[in-house]
Amino acid sequence: MPATRIPATLIPGDGIGHEIVDATLAALDALGAPFDWDRQIAGLEGVRTAGDPLPAATLDSIRRTRLALKGPLETPSGGGYRSSNVRLREAFRLYANLRPARTLVPGGRFDDIDLVIVRENLEGLYIGHEHYIEIDDDPHAVAMATGVNTRRGSRRLLEFAFEHAIATGRKKVTIVHKANIMKALTGIFLETAQQLYEERYQGRIAFDAVIIDACAMKLVLNPWQFDVLVTTNLFGDILSDLAAGLVGGLGMAPGANIGADAAIFEAVHGSAPDIAGKGIANPTALLLAAAMMLDHCRLPEMAMRLRRAISDTLNADGVRTGDLGGKANTAAFTKALVARISNG
């Protein structure tokens, strides 16, 4: 076990969050992962307990640890509450959203998928600058939104994407854009990518670009032609869920939000309140996020052991939760996974 302990914030979240977090902690304990957890609250639990879906104590914890593992959060309806996920990205300048999509359970519509989508996380149309214009007696006659992409923000994200692709042995980076229509808003992203590639990365990795609508079609027809897709906020949100669909859905999709001030790892699916407390949730997405967290903390051997144990539990042992066509509940899957880790 590494001698150095690593402080980290733990946010179980809402709905099935506590169940999948408990499963993930059991796996990390079996690995001997050196995290010292500071358990905090957010989402609906934050509203109930502290009157805020993102309490000050939670933000203070992440400022101290600069590292967090997070279950799904539910944004309360009404009351003017903003998404806790968006607030976290803004508070810690989490500019890069990293979403790998890799086939773990073979035999679906697509096999041998191994993609990474890198999404800009702070700019674009998601900055929320929107308003209505009233005409006659209709207060919502016109809706307007302003998107903002900056040279600096684009370059920061693109540098991260190129460096990550090269460090992880990837072969090609594809920029996804709509510069044929949104010539300024996404043109600046494409232009910055082309300049950066020529300055620093030419000859080190392959590079190309594709328009967003064509990319969506090509992902469905032949996803194997892509390796690392890098794009702006809205397009990345859509494509990352599309890619998750290629490998079995959001239950198999981990995510990492990397920034200047912190890194937050998460299951990207929702809180699934309809199955909360039933003990049938699939913890795979959060387990894979924990593997990404281990990589981030320079513990690649533990990350590899965790990924291998997940694959062996699903495939060699055939222990799967109901969403994957199996009969195991969360506890049975966790027990089988821990056994795999302990015997590995």
| Domain co-membership, 57 together with 22 | yes
- Decide which of 2 and 244 is more confident: 244
Mean residue pLDDT across the chain: 94
Distance between CA 305 and CA 308 in Å, rounded? 5
pLDDT at 344 over 80: no
Claim to verify: residue 166 and residue 298 sit in the same structural domain: no
Mean local confidence (pLDDT), 198-216:
97
81 and 24, same structural domain? yes
**Domain-embedded: residue 179:** yes
Domain termination residue (choose one: 184, 218, 251):
251
* Domain identity same for 247 and 268: no
Condensed to tens digits (0 to 9), the pLDDT of residues 215-250 reads 999 999 999 999 999 999 999 999 999 999 999 999
pLDDT at residue number 261: 87
Q: Read off the pLDDT of residues 255-305 as tens digits, 9 standing for 90 and up.
A: 999 998 899 999 999 999 999 999 999 999 999 999 999 999 999 999 999
Residues 111 and 246 grouped into a single domain: yes
Q: Say which CATH number the domain at 332 has.
A: 3.40.718.10
Q: Looking at the structure, do residues 152 and 202 belong to the same domain, yes or no?
A: yes
CA distances to 18, 176, 256 from 64, rounded to whole Å, are: 23, 35, 19
CB-count exposure of residue 317 (10 Å: 0-12, 13-18, 19+)? middle
pTM of the model: 0.93
CA–CA separation, 16 and 24 (whole Å): 12
CA distance 287 to 23: 8
Q: What is the pLDDT of residue 79?
A: 59
Percentage of the chain with pLDDT > 90?
85
Kindly tell me the burial class for residue 216, based on how many C-beta atoms sit within 10 Å of its own C-beta (0-12, 13-18, 19 or more).
middle
> What number is the average pLDDT over the span 71-78?
80
98 part of a folded domain: no
Residue 80 is predicted with a pLDDT of 64
Q: Which residues are catalytic?
A: 126, 178, 213, 237
The domain of 60 spans 1-92+261-344
Of 220, 251, 282, the last residue of a domain is 251
User: Phi first, then psi: what are they for 52, rounded to 5°?
Assistant: -150, 130
pLDDT given for residue 180 in this prediction: 95
Residue pointed to by tokens 């513990």: 299
Looking at the structure, tell me whether residues 72 and 4 fall in a common domain: yes
Higher-pLDDT residue of 81 and 314 is: 314
Domain check: are 160 and 81 in the same one? no
Q: For residue 95, what pLDDT is reported?
A: 97
pLDDT given for residue 109 in this prediction = 85
Amino acid, res. 279 = G
| 100: number of Cβ within 10 Å | 24
> How many Å apart are CA 44 and CA 51, to the nearest integer?
9
Give the pLDDT mean for 91-110: 93
The one-character DSSP state at 252 is: G
Are 132 and 59 in a shared domain?
Answer: no
pLDDT at 77: 67
Looking at residue 82, its pLDDT comes to: 75
What is the total count of domains within the chain? 2
Instruction: Please identify, among 222, 251, 280, the residue that sits at the C-terminal boundary of a domain.
Output: 251
Lowest mean pLDDT among 117-131, 165-179, 196-210: 117-131
Q: Are residues 131 and 245 in the same domain?
A: yes
For the stretch 126-152, pLDDT in tens is 888 889 999 999 999 999 999 999 999
Residues 211 and 306 in one domain: no
Q: Do 195 and 299 have their domain in common?
A: no
Q: What is the pLDDT of residue 1?
A: 47
